[in-house]
Amino acid sequence: MYYSHPCSYCSKIFYTYGSSRYEAAKVLYHGIKKHLHDYNEDHKEHEFDDGQAIDTNEVYKALTESTESPPGGYEL
């Protein structure tokens, strides 16, 4: 299953493939957080400022599942 979530600042779609929704949420959280740091955008957004455990659970609740990778998405 493909799991995806948009960047909280720029709205780029990031996705990962796996069988565990919670593991996918952790991968997406870390990938998006890294993306925010790499592009110097982390200080501009506030959705991922609650700490890893809380933010991973927020991603878990909001991520999208599909049998195909999202078009134009960035794989993590």
Residue 48, CA atoms < 13 Å, CB-side half-sphere:
27
CB atoms within 10 A of CB 35: 19
Give residues with Cβ within 8 angstroms of 41, minimum separation 6: 9, 10, 35
The pLDDT of residue 41 is above 90: no
| 4 vs 51: CA distance, rounded Å | 20
pTM equals: 0.87
* pLDDT on residue 21: 95
How high does pLDDT run on average in the chain?
Answer: 90
Domain count, the chain: 1
| 3 vs 16: CA distance, rounded Å | 5
Domain boundaries, position 56: 2-75
